[in-house]
Structure 1
Amino acid sequence: MFVVGQDSGVGGGCDVASHDQGTGRGRVEFRALGPVEAVVDGRMVDLGTPKQRALLALLVSRVGRTVTVDVMLEELWEGRPPPSARTSLHAYVANLRRVLEPARARRTPATVLRTHGQGYLLDSREVQVDVHRFCERATAGWHAWGRGDRRQALGEFEAGLALWRGPAYAEVAHATHVVPEVERLEELRLSLVEGRCAALLAAGAHEMAVAELEAFTQAHPLREYGCELLSLALYRAGRQADALAVLRTNQRRLARELGIDPRPALQHLESEILNQAPALEWRPPTVPVARGAAPVVPAPRVGGTRASARAAAAEVFVGREPVLRQLADTLPAVAGRGQVVTVSGEAGIGKTGLLRHFAASAPVPVLWGACPEHVAAPPLWPWQQVLRVLAARLPQPSVPGPVAELLDRDARRPADGGDADADTLRRFDAIVDYLTRASHHTPLVVVLDHMHRADAASLRLLAHLAESVPAGRLLVAVCHRAGEAALVDTSAALARVETTRIVLDGLTVQDTQRLATAMLHREVGGHTAEGLWERTEGHPFYLRELIKQLAADQRIDQRLEQPHTVPVPVPVREVVLRRVGQLPQTAAWLLAVAAVAGRHFDIGVVAEAASVDIEAALEALDAAVAAGLVAEDPQRLGWFRFTHGLTAEVLHGATGRLRRAHLHSRIGTAAARTWPGSAYAGPGPVATTRYRPQDR
């Protein structure tokens, strides 16, 4: 019998115990899963010249261990250091020390980047490194997998993969002393991608797993476990021929390139697929269902909606009833005249979950395409998924030549020419005509998920299709993250056709109460629900993580009475800091100061306290507003608020105590100058109003 998770161990493991992770003691955070970055006291800092950044990357790759001067000279100058290299190296170290310890008094010993023996080291007791958090997530995920907790494993794998921004230690990835660590981390990352897909299969999300695994196996064709997972995912999605083709293509490749046979597990899987062994079928886990949750009705297997329904049923789902009714109201239009629906919102707001539940109850075939998150996909990838399912489920009409060419995996002909390219236009027309003619046989729903990650050709095809949708019986549901610049042109094209726009906000207090009751398996009162909602404003990801943190707390009864005392969950902290870290440096600094002022803040007061010109502050704040981290107060001119209280809490906690005290003083002085007679209310991360001026 095939067992998901086989041969997925984490190599030699990750020894991170010595790095003081999770204690919160490190004042400096390094991000090395991509270009090296440093966050000091909650603020991104400028690391200087390329060589200075490379020096820091080298030190971070060996945190807690001494890197000798000779090794530094050899790596930074590729074995040919000029006579002035030592002087430059000492200057780089001095610059980095000033950046990493800005509050260190002159002539006092450095505590972060210390001199040690014949070189330097980064003190592991003073710093945190995303590499160590990644290893912890990987270890926790495989431990959860080993004890059968597939959902926890999926969460850990996704949290670990979310830390990656590019090749590890990008500045020194090819350095002799760093290459083994880079290779180890890349191997671990690939194993987590496979583990995540195995967890998706365990949850019943077969189409989502197929989307990730097809791109993954194209990039890494010799990883047999990825091929094994892809074949199983295709089989469970009703694509037996494709499942066998994956195994046989892998067999030919191994014989041709390595002269070996596939491992026994793949040979056994091929035999079970040929015999349609019952052991290959997915079996849903037993999970609680929230009271008042939206009903989940099994859908026809056409287009893979059953897998989407299984994934939806495997998680507690509450609220969204009005939005589900709005989506359901669009289905009658499919029988007569096609329509486009867009579902947007910030990250984690529940867009994909909503569409899964809609697909599960839709009485018509649903064709699902998604843009993968952790691997780069080829052009038109979500459309290939949609068209493959359509070709497999509805043999009539026949697949046009240009569409068949796109679906041919071995086709080398580029699908992404310029706008004027006749081949591209011909292919687009063929796809639109194929979908339209298929909808004449039966109404169809096309779901395109995560389109904010789509390639340019996929977005152009969407705009091209939108113009022809009314002529068929197609409902095209497009899911994307709000505020993404890449979708501006596509949104403008969709605006020219009949489009229903759905913007998701947070859950209500009542939905929060129902969700907490279902997850905690105990009745949760209105006071607790209001406290949880106040900190999250119903953001599903933040809310679920907060409830899980509450469930794991030994003092759960006390926490239920005082929900504001539940500590900020680590996944929430990481997500918030990552989102803030993607902002311009001035915007990140302003938010850090604003978090000390309170959840509601006057930008004039915060700008003065942060020593930022008001025009520059307003420009920087625009980026934070666009990212959904803060919103403008509609009643008070110049006032803003953090969209979620947890964001302010995380930034407040990431600022050192001494710096907070200094900022409190500056904010109080600025508030008194801006609002004569106002009373600054003192410290605290999420008070409703920190200083109370009269309304203008």
Structure 2
Amino acid sequence: MMNFGVLGTVEAHRDGKPIDVGSPSSRALLARLLLSRGRVVPLDRLIEDLWEGEPPRQALASLRTFVCRLRRDLEPEDRPTVLLTEPRGYRLDVSAEQLDADAFEELVRRADPQRDPAGALELLDRALELWRGPAYAEFAHSTWVQVEAARLEELRLAAVERRLATLLTLGRHGHAIPDLEAFTRTHPMREEGWWLLALALYRSARQADALSVLRRARGHLAEELGLDPGPALRQLEADILAQAPGLGVPSSAPSREPAAPVRIRCLGRDHLLDCASDVLGAAESGDGGALLVAGEPGTGRTQLLRSVEALARVRGLQVAWAASCRLESGYAFGVARQVFEPLLAALPDEERARLLEGVTLPAADVIWRNRRTGDLSEVLHGLHWVTVRLARRVPLLVVLDDVQWCDPESLRWLAYTLRRLRGVPVALVVSRAVGVPSDWPDMLDTMCSMMPAVRLGALPRQAATALVMEQTGVEPDAAFVSRCVAATGGNAFLLAEHVRSLHSDGRPERIGRWVSGLLRVAGPGAAELVRAVAVLGEEATPDAVAGMAGLSGDRFAGVLSVLVRMGLLRDGTPLRLAHPVVRRTILDEALIASQGAVHIGRTPFQP
């Protein structure tokens, strides 16, 4: 199927793929025929318009050449079925569904904010997404296009105003205000924009700002046109001063049931949960927000993310959760698919089809059909609009755990999204294991630098006491808590597992598996180096450790640097394991592995 676009530069597509209409004369002919919406354009009118009233002597022959070229571009191997010759001239056989301008007008016509404001908002968003620039952009100075281009631009501005008014009807004033500020700056003579901005500010408890906006509108109109504001602006000013009851949110606006007074706790991290709550609040008010949760392995990043997820669900947000995996870091858009697939699968088929059409189509191929048809920029743009469309239904929280193992394509999507969060009801909360190597360190650092961050460390004493009590079921002795904290450095995971093993009189097997996993991530030589530090104890000088581990100077320095950044080792002389309980676990594992060897130092600890 062939489709045409005039809401921007003139373009043509066949089955979703662009058609190269290369020559300026062919593009001008295509634009002029599209302007007539399938009607015949007489030869003399085509000649008059294409040559702007100054046709050459051989204009008719030149026109026929243009027609032949355009036919070859549109249908190089077929009989002409689109560009048709008629007795008086030429026409394009194009239906309303094939032209973006007609599709735009139909979507706007169907939008009914009075009966269905949420549905109207979706239709208006889809309509406005069709615009790529000024209508018939490259022919804006041609006299034959100016009336139609002006008509379409007026329809676009009216659709923008209807969309913003619909946001107010839905009670989403915070979402509308940034767009209204931009709209009034670019179109200061349109009183509707000023009226909506003042009303949105008033409904956001910003009465003084609302009155200031109305004064700005009065100043613009007086300076540019020598006119006073119209009746609607004057009446709104009077109503704001009187705090008229009718200025409140319309009764038809949907409202969420107030959430039950649930208190989500996060042991020792409630102040960090408050930071995340602020990000959720930004999304709820229609503006985007992001937060990076960073910490060494075992400090409780995932638990904090689970608490944020629970808080978001209590507050009525939709939640998408993804967890990066080291084994899947080469799977293109793997994390993005984790985010979007469950959300899309939960939608009715018809609603999902509407969401995955138009500008989102390249993204739909990646996240829903598991194929890639567009270039990276098209996919990223499509993913952004999938995010926007989903969030406009209900504010959205996207949670991503262990971003250090994210695939590069999804990292690019995250960076693309972070730069475009303003005015989008999305909260993005991401965790990163500090020091854990990444296959894409520069890209990861760049993306993480775009977010405000909180850093997790050792548990505060009060939180450590509460955690010990959770594991044992009794109020612990202060000295016992102190010994446990000293053994684990207050690392949340190690503390919980250490206390559990003591309470059950068993070996800390989960600590052993945790250490083994980290050493595999740290790379070759890490297990040997850590074991050497554990065995040598107070004699663990760098030279002694390197010799026992069998690591040369540069290789030893590289492995040591990784282990220090991960928080497993403390640099210095002697080298030390950061947590005594980890040293004890490594020695126990080595002893078991030695199976009675005379010297434990001869049997390497194997992760």
Q: TM-score normalised to the size of structure 1? A: 0.43
Bigger Cα Rg: 2
Structure having the larger proportion of residues in helix: 2
